[in-house]
């Protein structure tokens, strides 16, 4: 369920309006590691384009009727991944929208294929140090509840970055205002979204 009120497309600046028109029913899908800023940047991007923002993790929690840590604890990661892939498949039918996905979602080949078909993937790529600093602020990520979260983060980066690199657009997520990142995403989208009216 989107959590933001929409603008009328006629209220958008011309470049944004043309981009939204060219998107059609496709979603802008934010991918990347935990702590990369997918949800906070995604909300601001959606606001700028006047389209809904949807957070896949929130929708998974809604569908399961429990929090992600509880899903991991009670049903295990395999069940979580199956639910994640189902929920994202359903959400991808709801574009245009900005869809933020959990860090592991793009590792599923079927999910990657669906995103390619029905969306434009944007990888928010952040350095290890940036991610480590950010993830230390929260303790609700089951995958990082290990004896050495920094080492786990490094391993996840090594395994995941080759798959993330398949994204249509890569943006360096760093410690600048979210508006700067949003501006870069919009600029790149204007270049790559096919059929965009100039
Ligand atoms: C996960 C990332 C989390 C959430 C779950 C698993 C991952 O989402 O989906 O804890 O595998 O990286 P965020 O990337 O939004 O933190």
The DSSP secondary structure of 55-92, one letter per residue, reads EHHHHHHHHHTS-HHHHHHHH-HHHHHHHHHHHHHHHG
The Cα 53–Cα 5 span in angstroms is 9
Distance from residue 102's CA to the centre of ligand 1 (Å): 4
In angstroms, the CA 48 to CA 51 distance is 8
Rounded distance from Cα 79 to ligand 1 centre (Å): 14
Domains and CATH numbers, the chain: 9-189 (3.40.50.300)
Site residues for ligand 1, CB cut-off 6 Å: 34, 38, 57, 68, 102-104, 141-143
Which residue bears the tokens 């350095």?
Answer: 127
pLDDT of the residue at 198: 41
Compute the distance between CA of residue 188 and CA of residue 192 in angstroms, rounded to an integer: 6
Comparing CA positions, the residue from 132, 142, 139 lying closest to residue 175 is: 132
* H or E stretch covering 42: helix 38-49
Best residue among 102, 135, 164 to mutate for probing ligand 1, ranked by most atoms within 8 Å of CB: 102
SS3 assignment, position 165: coil
Alpha carbon 132 to its chain's center:
18
Note the pTM of the prediction, 2 decimals: 0.94
The rounded Å distance from CA 101 to ligand 1 centre is: 8
Q: Concatenated DSSP letters for 77-135?
A: HHHHHHHHHHHHHHHGGG-SEEEE--TTGGGSHHHHHHHHHHEEEEEEE--HHHHHHHH
Rounded to the nearest angstrom, the distance between the alpha carbon of 177 and the centre of ligand 1 is 23
pLDDT in the model for residue 140: 85
Protein residue whose Cα sits closest to atom 12 of ligand 1: 103
pLDDT (tens place) for every residue of the chain, 198 residues total: 555 555 677 789 999 999 999 999 999 999 999 999 999 999 999 999 999 999 999 999 999 999 999 999 999 999 999 999 999 999 999 999 999 999 999 999 999 999 999 999 999 999 999 999 999 888 889 999 999 999 999 999 999 999 999 999 999 999 999 999 999 999 999 999 965 444
Determine the distance separating the centroid of ligand 1 and the alpha carbon of 6, expressed in angstroms.
27
Instruction: Tell me the torsion sign for CA atoms 66, 69, 72, 75.
Output: negative
- Tokens encoding 74: 């009670």
Q: What is the residue with the minimal CA distance to atom 11 of ligand 1?
A: 104
Question: Among 98, 106, 137, 143, which is best to mutate for testing ligand 1, by the most ligand atoms less than 8 A from CB?
Answer: 143
* pLDDT at site 65: 98
Q: What is the pLDDT of residue 6?
A: 59
Segment (H or E) for 53: strand 53-55
Q: Nearest CA to 119 among 29, 8, 192, 7?
A: 29
Q: How far is the CA of 81 from the centre of ligand 1 (A)?
A: 10
The CA distances from residue 51 to 17, 64, 94, 171, 191, in Å, are 10, 26, 11, 20, 19
């Amino acid at each position: 369920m989107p959590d933001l009120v929409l603008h009328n497309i006629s209220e958008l600046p011309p470049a944004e309006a043309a981009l939204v028109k060219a998107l059609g029913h496709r979603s802008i899908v934010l991918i990347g590691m935990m702590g990369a800023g997918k949800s906070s940047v995604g909300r601001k991007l959606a606001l700028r384009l006047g389209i809904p923002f949807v957070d896949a993790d929130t929708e998974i929690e809604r569908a399961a009727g429990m929090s992600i840590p509880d899903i991991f604890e009670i049903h295990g990661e395999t069940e979580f991944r199956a639910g994640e892939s189902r929920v994202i498949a359903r959400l991808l039918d709801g574009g245009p929208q900005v869809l933020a996905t959990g860090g592991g979602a793009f590792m599923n080949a079927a999910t990657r294929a669906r995103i390619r078909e029905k969306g434009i993937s944007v990888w928010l790529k952040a350095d290890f140090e940036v991610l480590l600093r950010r993830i230390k602020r929260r303790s609700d990520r089951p995958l990082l509840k290990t004896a050495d979260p920094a080492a786990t983060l490094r391993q996840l980066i090594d395994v995941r970055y080759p798959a993330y690199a398949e994204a249509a657009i890569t943006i360096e997520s760093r410690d600048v205002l979210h508006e700067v990142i949003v501006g870069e995403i919009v600029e790149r989208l204007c270049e790559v979204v096919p059929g965009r009216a100039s």
